[in-house]
């Protein structure tokens, strides 16, 4: 994510420049500009709370940027292929991340002074190159295995520097999202149907969108989404939109973000100009209360021996990634856990189950969960028996870094590069 952030800022800031830029390095057919280096260095300095980067830091950062270009050059030589769908998926992820950070699409567009589609176009080529480099590294190092003997040798060599391992907690949870409840879904569909009826009777689409749509990026524009090529919207949205005639209204269309009413304004081949009203499922006090009561019932059932925590997690938890593993979240040190969670876990004994507690996922999503403290591992000196998985990860990382360094030296011998600082 940090590299994505850097890439977005650099790409947009460079595109916005109106002055001639100095080339500080050439790698194969690629160049690195002084403005790119300066921005990257300023970002790194800010991350480390350093007033300004010195010459040694600038040199190190430039070498990192050269290595990134070398990876791309080798990826081209190896004919690494990246599909348009992979680029689109990565761009969507990046943009959605920033929309969450800034609060809305409108705010993001305001900050960068351009619409989202233009931001995506500016980033497309760099994103493709970045994915190619990642795929090359995965191809080269993704399947590297490490033996038990290698882990033991690594531990013997570095055990004195591994120091004290803080207390750890192995925990599981059952999570319920009130927004996914039937009551919230029913209310959203009822409102969408009411709005659709009003539109069919002649109500002004733009005014209803401004008043009711839950899409912050288009609501203020009366739901107008502008001209967009096929492949940008959710498949469910596109299937309905592309089937409409000019000025025709859709029925209620469900997508992963909620319920849409779509109107086709104009079509030009594989591009459509539509507007929509989005109604999202929203929780209310009653939905929240139902989630809390249900979790309390599950807790009582587990404590009375009616069934296990793992059974209920698999059956009811809305955290689908952990549900299939009986709700297991993993093993964490205290500083890896949110303070509100740690305040609960710290007071619990092994096998204890907490009362329901609100959990914030991001600024727009939350839910309620109960925890189970599976195991408490006291503070101790690092050892293979208790910390094998963590030591194995360190040993794997060390091995890959060593192989990567040797490989990068080979690339530097094979592919043309030059520093012009």
Coil, strand or helix at 353: strand
Residue 414 domain-assigned (yes or no): no
- Residue 254 domain-assigned (yes or no): yes
Contact 57, 45 (CB under 8 A): yes
Per-residue pLDDT tens digits of the chain, which is 421 residues long: 445 444 555 455 444 444 457 999 999 999 999 988 988 888 788 878 888 888 899 999 999 999 999 999 999 999 999 998 899 888 888 888 788 777 788 888 888 788 888 888 888 998 999 999 999 999 999 888 899 999 999 999 999 998 899 999 999 999 998 866 667 788 899 999 999 999 999 999 999 999 999 998 899 999 999 888 888 888 899 999 999 999 999 999 999 889 999 999 999 888 899 999 999 987 667 788 888 999 999 999 999 999 999 999 999 998 989 999 999 999 998 888 888 888 889 899 999 999 999 988 766 678 899 999 999 999 999 999 888 988 999 999 999 999 999 999 999 999 999 999 7
What is the Cα gyration radius of the chain? Answer: 27
Share of the chain above pLDDT 70, in %: 93
Structure tokens at 99: 């929309």
Q: Single out the residue in 213, 245, 279 at which a domain terminates.
A: 279
Whether residue 164 contacts residue 379, with contact meaning beta carbons closer than 8 Å, is answered with yes
d(CA 327, CA 399): 32
Structure tokens, 226: 């502008």
Give the residue among 6, 2, 138, 132 at the shortest CA–CA distance from 69: 132
317 with 298: CB under 8 angstroms?
no
Please indicate, yes or no, whether residues 139 and 6 belong to a single structural domain of this protein: yes
Report yes or no on 152 lying in a domain. no
Residues 216 and 319 in one domain: no
Evaluate whether residue 162 is within a structural domain: no
Q: Are residues 373 and 306 located together in one domain of the fold?
A: yes
**237 and 293 assigned to the same domain:** no
Q: Are residues 357 and 373 in the same domain?
A: yes
3-state secondary structure of 285: helix
Q: At which residue do the structure tokens 């977005």 appear?
A: 8
- pLDDT tens sequence across 399-417: 999 999 999 999 999 999 9
What's the helix, strand, coil split of the chain in %, to 5? 55, 20, 25
| Contact by Cβ (8 Å): 135, 80 | yes
Q: What is the pLDDT of residue 16?
A: 45
State the DSSP H helix or E strand holding residue 32, giving kind and residue range, or none if neither. strand 30-33
Q: Which tokens sit at 404?
A: 């990567």
Looking at the structure, do residues 104 and 172 belong to the same domain, yes or no?
no
Mind giving me the DSSP string for 399-417? HHHHHHHHHHHHHHHHS-E
**Domain span holding position 295:** 167-178+284-378
User: What confidence tens digit (pLDDT) does each residue in 45-65 have?
Assistant: 887 888 888 889 999 999 999
What is the four-CA torsion angle of 136, 138, 139, 143, rounded to 10 degrees? Answer: 160
In a domain, 295, yes or no: yes
Residue 346 belongs to domain with CATH number:
3.10.50.40
Q: Is residue 328 part of a domain?
A: yes
12 and 130 both lie in a single domain: yes
Statement to judge: residues 174 and 314 lie in one domain = yes
Could you tell me where the DSSP H helices lie in 251-371? 285-303, 309-316, 320-323, 339-345
H-helix or E-strand spanning residue 91:
helix 84-102
Last residue of a domain, one of 240, 261, 279: 279
- Are 29 and 104 in a shared domain? yes
Instruction: State the chain's mean pLDDT as an integer.
Output: 88
Instruction: Identify whether 417 is part of a domain.
Output: no
| Confidence (pLDDT) at 223 | 94
Regarding whether 363 and 331 lie in a shared domain, the answer is yes
Q: Cβ-count burial of 295 within 10 angstroms (0-12 exposed, 13-18 middle, 19+ buried)? A: buried
What confidence score (pLDDT) does residue 59 get? Answer: 93
* pLDDT of the residue at 19: 44
pTM for the whole structure: 0.57
Rounded to whole angstroms, how far apart are CA atoms 124 and 138?
Answer: 21
Total of domains in the chain: 3
Q: Per the domain annotation, does 228 fall within a domain?
A: yes
Going by C-alpha positions, the residue among 279, 205, 204, 267 that lies closest to residue 241 is 267
Same-domain pairing of 136 and 189: no
Residue in the block written with tokens 């093993």: 331
What does DSSP assign to residue 245?
Answer: P
Q: Are residues 265 and 330 in the same domain?
A: no
């Amino acid at each position: 994510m940090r590299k994505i952030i850097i890439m977005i800022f650099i790409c947009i800031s460079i595109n916005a420049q109106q002055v001639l830029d100095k080339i500080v390095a050439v790698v194969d057919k690629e160049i690195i500009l002084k403005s790119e280096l300066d921005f990257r260095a300023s970002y790194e300095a800010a991350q480390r709370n350093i007033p300004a980067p010195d010459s040694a830091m600038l040199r190190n950062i430039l070498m990192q940027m050269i290595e990134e270009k070398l990876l791309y050059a080798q990826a081209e030589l190896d004919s690494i292929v990246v599909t348009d769908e992979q680029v689109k998926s990565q761009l969507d992820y990046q943009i959605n991340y920033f929309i969450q950070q800034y609060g809305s699409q409108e705010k993001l567009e305001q900050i960068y002074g351009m619409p989202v589609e233009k931001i995506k176009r500016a980033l497309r080529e760099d994103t493709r190159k970045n994915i190619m480099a990642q795929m090359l590294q995965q191809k080269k190092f993704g399947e590297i295995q490490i033996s038990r003997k290698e882990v033991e040798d690594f531990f013997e060599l570095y055990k004195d520097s591994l120091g004290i391992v803080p207390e750890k907690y192995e925990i599981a949870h059952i999570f319920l999202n009130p927004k996914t409840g039937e009551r919230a879904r029913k209310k959203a569909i009822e409102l969408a149907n009411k709005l659709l009826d009003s539109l069919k009777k002649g109500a002004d689409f733009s005014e209803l969108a401004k008043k009711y749509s839950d899409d912050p990026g288009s609501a203020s524009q009366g739901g107008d989404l502008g001209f967009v090529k096929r492949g940008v919207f959710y498949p469910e949205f596109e299937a309905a939109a592309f089937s409409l005639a000019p000025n025709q209204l859709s029925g209620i269309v469900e997508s992963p973000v909620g319920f849409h009413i779509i109107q086709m304004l104009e079509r030009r081949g594989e591009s459509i100009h539509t507007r929509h009203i989005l109604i999202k499922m929203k929780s209310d006090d009653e939905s929240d209360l139902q989630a809390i009561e249900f979790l309390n019932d599950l807790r009582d059932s587990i404590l009375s021996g009616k069934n296990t925590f793992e059974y209920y997690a698999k059956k009811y938890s809305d955290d689908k990634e952990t549900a299939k593993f009986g709700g297991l979240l993993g093993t964490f040190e205290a500083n890896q856990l949110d303070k509100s969670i740690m305040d609960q876990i710290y007071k619990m004994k092994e096998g204890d189950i907490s009362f329901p507690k609100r959990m914030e996922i991001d600024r727009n999503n939350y839910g309620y969960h109960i925890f189970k403290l599976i195991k408490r591992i006291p503070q101790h000196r690092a050892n293979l028996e208790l910390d094998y998985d963590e030591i194995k990860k360190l040993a794997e990382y060390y091995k890959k870094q060593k192989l990567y360094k040797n490989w990068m030296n080979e690339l530097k011998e094979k592919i043309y590069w030059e520093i012009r600082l």
